[in-house]
Structure 1
Amino acid sequence: MTTAATPAPAGRPVVGLDLGGTKIAAALLAADGTVLARHSRPTPAREGAAAVLDALAAAAAAVDPDRAAALLGIAAAGVIDPRSGMVTSSTDSLSGWAGTRLGAGLAGRTGYAVACDNDVRATAGPELAGLNASTGGHGSLLFAAIGTGVGGALAADGRMLHGSAGIAGHLGHVPSPEAAGLPCTCGSTGHLEVIASGPGIAAHYERLTGAPVDRLETVAARAAQGDSHAVAAITTGAAAAGHVLGGLANALGPDRVVVGGGVPRIGTLYEDALRAAFAAELMGPLRGLVPRPPLLGHDAAVLGAAALTTTLPLHHPGALR
């Protein structure tokens, strides 16, 4: 059973879960957002959807052993439809994840009413809330998360966009000229993710040099030492992201553009190339708009997950019976 979201019972905390391909983070949050308890555990990513749901339930139990909460919000990897509570699409980072009844399955395992959404949209939620507070509830936001993959979130006139099957905001699967002909994790070719993500930049360095490289940080270290191929790989990925975000900014007209994730943290070489490419795309009324880092730190995902319980449909225990 699914119902409209309702405020958490007066004074009761909420469980927030953040599901990634390698780690599950859990927190018990008071009504004012104070973190009362934390827990993390590895994601059983190769063991199937049931094992992942079991691990999520165990993480929730670890932060709320006394059953103080009644509601749970989860920010999950994959394409999530918050209305149906389904994982409508997923890459192979979580085996068998597509088609999972996330809302109902987690509600049945935990006994909480559950709200669910894509992890990047959930993380962007507190950013939108802050923006709405300064715009009278009419904020528009373009949020990108660039790390192992490229995800995103879009909000217009104060409302987060979900789109058909929950797919809105998947910025990594926008065509990118820099990625022309390269196979994407979604099964298509030429998408932004394969040139702008951390693995995408590392793979581009390998194509330029013919030599394998273990991870993005190695490429960044070589760029700092003057390796021209490393510089080219990083600036190509950054520029690809900047061009796409600039074009999307022209289409959406955002008040704020946020770029987060692990890749932008590699340094100013990346940041400067992204900002230059972004600025080159902007139409006149948007000139002066600059991509910014996220306002919140490592708690953004669990805080955003908990906040889902106030804005999205709730999936209740018993729906799978």
Structure 2
Amino acid sequence: MSSGSRPGAGDGALIGLDLGGTKIAAALVGPVGPVGPGGPNGSLGTVLARHTRPTPAGSGPDAVLDALAAAAAEVDPDRRASALGIAAAGVIDPRTGRVTSATDSIRGWAGTALGTGLADRTGLPVACDNDVRATAGPELAALDAEHGSLLFAAIGTGVGGAVAVDGRMLHGAAGIAGHLGHVPSPQAAGLPCTCGATGHLEVIASGPAITAHYRRLTGRAAQRLEAVAERAAQGDADAVHAITTGARAAGQALGGLANALGPDRVVVGGGVPRVGALYTDALAAAFAAELMPPLRGLLPRAPLLGHDAAVLGAATLTTRLPLHHPGVRP
């Protein structure tokens, strides 16, 4: 089977890898059924082994690929897996298996041949996708409707997302579909974005952005969102304002996107919503205020799965995306 061909039904164990800027998570996953309606537990398989290690983010793409292959070997010493799926940071094109764009959180990551590079190192066929789309896959699978639609936002160090319409995850040109952090936001007007533009959602709604907004408001030092949240809980009005501004910006953007896409389910995950009701209530109110009448009653929900969501979603990529094989160039 050549690079880019689709897998068959697939039997046996699978490896799921989740690559972030600081950590690699790996899991050996029991047999995965066809991804479709009927709930996540029925289609995702069971985690049989886990492993984590630091990402050698400053050492270049070859070192990262080597670390990924080592993590895969760690969870599958008996070579039970028939394929490997990877959920990776950056803009990933699953058809070519390449990283088409990336921030500097992993040095030199843009342009990396992720699919074939990892296949060559592991001897396994590899499916790859953006980390947020991979995590959103089980959420789509859990929808009751065969042609369900999903809007998924991951709000943490950045703002990522995934969009599925009528049962199909959207990838778009170069794999860029779903990058919700780069839609315009009135609350971010004039603020520079890491992508080179200004006024994007990520620079007002992400964790570091909320922290930076608090510093702009007060001139006081705050290194992390947790510190801002603690001050908000103690009655600091500026901390409350910074958090709710980020939440309202996210809710407004998601509400507008919901009108455009008509999702059956809207999911908001990531570290920032863990701030609590101050954040989630403000986001939900701003979201509801944007909705057209047919969508009224739609509410943002928390993710269905916990800390294994990314590796389980990565494993299921092998059932629905092109496979890249050892020794076969894209």
Determine if the TM-score, normalized by the shorter chain, exceeds 0.5.
yes
Deviation track 1:244-264 (CA, whole Å, cap 9, x = no partner) reads: 000000000000000000000
Residue in 1 aligned with 2:40?
none
Check the 8 A contact 2:99/2:109 in 1, yes or no: yes
Rounded to whole Å, the distance in 1 between the matches of 2:221 and 2:177 is: 35
Tell whether 2:218 aligns with 1:206: no
Tell whether 2:309 aligns with 1:300: yes
TM-score when scaled to structure 2?
0.94
Alignment of 1:186-197 (within 5 A): 186-197=195-206
Q: What's the secondary structure of 1:24's corresponding residue? A: strand
Residue in 1 aligned with 2:3?
2
Q: CA deviation at 1:214?
A: 1.0
**Structure 2 unmatched runs, 5+:** 33-44
CA RMSD of aligned residues (A): 1.1
Residue in 2 aligned with 1:14?
14
Task: Quote the sequence identity (%).
Answer: 77
Residue in 1 aligned with 2:226?
217
Deviation track 1:143-187 (CA, whole Å, cap 9, x = no partner) reads: 000000000000000000000000000000011010111111111
Tell whether 2:107 aligns with 1:95: yes
Q: What's the secondary structure of 2:17's corresponding residue? A: strand
Residue in 1 aligned with 2:37?
none
Check the 8 A contact 2:3/2:329 in 1, yes or no: no
Tell whether 2:118 aligns with 1:106: yes
Residue in 1 aligned with 2:133?
121
Rounded to whole Å, the distance in 2 between the matches of 1:138 and 1:320 is: 34
Tell whether 2:254 aligns with 1:245: yes
Tell whether 2:139 aligns with 1:130: no
Rounded to whole Å, the distance in 2 between the matches of 1:22 and 1:8 is: 34
TM-score when scaled to structure 1?
0.97
Rounded to whole Å, the distance in 1 between the matches of 2:21 and 2:315 is: 20
Rounded to whole Å, the distance in 2 between the matches of 1:187 and 1:220 is: 29
Deviation track 1:270-320 (CA, whole Å, cap 9, x = no partner) reads: 001000100110001001100000011111100000000000000000025
Rounded to whole Å, the distance in 1 between the matches of 2:294 and 2:82 is: 46
Alignment of 1:306-317 (within 5 A): 306-317=315-326
**Structure 1 unmatched runs, 5+:** none
Rounded to whole Å, the distance in 1 between the matches of 2:183 and 2:162 is: 13
Aligned residues: 317
Residue in 1 aligned with 2:23?
23
Deviation track 1:30-78 (CA, whole Å, cap 9, x = no partner) reads: 1151111110000011111111111000000000111111200000000
| Structure 2 letter corresponding to 1:234 | I
Rounded to whole Å, the distance in 1 between the matches of 2:22 and 2:194 is: 17
Deviation track 1:120-148 (CA, whole Å, cap 9, x = no partner) reads: 000000000111xx11x100000000000
| Structure 1 letter corresponding to 2:169 | M
Tell whether 2:178 aligns with 1:166: no
Q: CA deviation at 1:9?
A: 4.2
Residue in 1 aligned with 2:55?
43
Residue in 2 aligned with 1:149?
158
Residue in 2 aligned with 1:176?
185
| Structure 2 letter corresponding to 1:6 | P
Tell whether 2:275 aligns with 1:274: no
